[in-house]
Amino acid sequence: MKHEFFQIWVFLAQSPLLWLTLTVLAYLGALWLYRRSGLNPLVNPVLISVALIVTVLLLTRTPYPQYFDGAKFVHFLIGPATVALAIPLYNQWERLKRMGPAIGIALLAGSTTAIVSAVGIAWLLGATPETLRSLAPKSATMPIAMGVAERIGGLPSLAAVAVAVTGIAGAIMARALFNVLGVKDLSVRGFAVGITSHAIGTARALQVHEQAGAFAALAMALNGIATALLVPLLLALL
């Protein structure tokens, strides 16, 4: 019986549809739990779905490249989803024009803080130079962070992990932190989350309010550019 089950699994594992289905079902299940919890940030659907998929891959000893080959259609959809973020951003265009200087200052402060804090804490803990270079772009969206890390001598794989952890942590802690600090403006909340927590934080901001999501999308895009420019400069100074 066990041998037959193994043979069936080997057959199914060769089908790309299996891993695409697993990814979708894992996220839908995590999203159901998230809604049942009353949108509790601790029940983050991204974190739960990632944990479920990793567990399945470990139990079945499936290499990540094999999984990615099957689920890469989801990866392809990141592009159209990112472009679609321009719609809520366009609806906030008049306010964006009025807030131009403030946005520029917030972007510079937020991006610089994200880079310096990551490198500084890791340095105090005795991290290697290669690790420091990998962590520096952790608040940019993943493709940019991996590219920057590779160009400055870091590890793209470590940068990807740092980006994922940063995004999930920001999505979980942001609301409570804003409440403690008394920050109520949705545009300010969204912009701060977009700078620090990139796409995962932006997705969370969109769930809260369209205005917060629009400013988070703007911050995510601008911070990707700022990170690519600031990381080499700041590392040279540090």
Q: What is the pLDDT of residues 156-198, one digit of tens each?
A: 888 888 888 888 888 888 888 888 888 888 888 888 888 888 8
Q: Are 231 and 153 contacting, i.e. CB atoms less than 8 angstroms apart?
A: no
pLDDT at 75 over 70: no
By the 10 Å C-beta count (0-12 exposed, 13-18 middle, 19+ buried), 178 is classed as middle
Q: HSE of 5 in the Cβ direction (CA atoms, 13 Å)?
A: 3
pLDDT at 6 over 70: no
Q: Are 223 and 197 contacting, i.e. CB atoms less than 8 angstroms apart?
A: no
Handedness of CA 50, 56, 61, 64 (dihedral sign): negative
**Which residues, including other chains, have CB under 8 Å from residue 178's CB and lie 6 or more apart?**
184, 189, 192
Q: What is the pLDDT of residues 214-226, one digit of tens each?
A: 888 888 888 888 8
Q: What is the pLDDT of residues 117-132, one digit of tens each?
A: 888 899 999 888 899 8
pTM of the model as a whole: 0.72
DSSP state letter for 194: H
If residue 65 lies in a helix (H) or strand (E), which one and from where to where? helix 64-76
DSSP state letter for 140: S
Q: What is the pLDDT of residues 11-31, one digit of tens each?
A: 445 556 777 888 888 888 888
Q: Domain locations in the chain?
A: 2-76, 88-237
How far, CA to CA in Å, does 10 sit from each of 6, 45, 60, 61? 6, 29, 10, 11
